[in-house]
Amino acid sequence: MSLHLGDLAPDFTADTTRGPIRFHEWLGDSWGILFSHPADFTPVCTTELGAVARLGPEFAARGVKVIGLSVDPVESHLRWEADVAATQGNPIDFPMIADVDRRVSELYDMIHPGASDVATVRTVFVIGPDKRVRLSLSYPMSTGRNFDEILRAVDSLRLTESWPVATPADWRPGEDVIIGLGIDAIEAASLFPGHRVVTPYLRYTECPAVAPAAR
């Protein structure tokens, strides 16, 4: 199975470090991030878990639930969490899936044919409240993931879910955004008074507000 943007994220049941879950039920109406690891006690992933734990309040403020995955059992995950807290300075406050049988990894196409059956499991999925895949990124084992960038992408996704706009290259929250091509000049003047026209297809406006995440 190959997942594409806009596809329904597969539902599943799994054991985690916070008890058993059914994925769609656990997500509820929230945005979600599912990110995977090849195995416990791997060095790059240890730093990544610490980075996600550090950003926990930022994800929570945006109504984003985070869940990790590794192919080792829960008992191993819990020992790894202790190492992460000791070495990275941030205790893990999100669940970790024990994907011992690789079932979830296969559902999400995180094991690539012709490669090791675990080494390529290093993917990030951002899933919308409608349970559809909004973003996916895959990394090699040697390159640590940039979760500040993933947080920035979540900000863009939440904004463009609420308004008919797009975000330009290197955009940061609060900076000007681009008016969507589906908005004609009359509607643009009504929705975004004072917007700036560079070309007929490139129109900038101040960043509109996004409703706070439900708590």
Active site residues: 45, 130
Token representation of residue 61: 């403020």
Tell me phi and psi for residue 140, to 5 degrees.
Answer: -75, 165
- Cβ–Cβ < 8 Å for 207, 176: yes
Distance CA 9, CA 107 (A): 9
Pairing assessment for the beta strands 31-36 and 21-22 based on DSSP bridges:
unpaired
Bridge partners, 205 (sequence order): 177
Helices and strands per DSSP (H, E), number in the chain? 7, 11
In this structure, the number of other CB atoms found within 10 A of the CB of residue 114 comes to 5
Tell me how far apart the 2 most distant CA atoms of the chain are, in Å: 60
Output the CA–CA distances (angstroms, integers) from residue 141 to 82, 112, 175, 176, 183, in the order listed.
Answer: 22, 13, 33, 35, 42
In this structure, the number of other CB atoms found within 10 A of the CB of residue 154 comes to 20
- Cβ–Cβ < 8 Å for 203, 178: yes
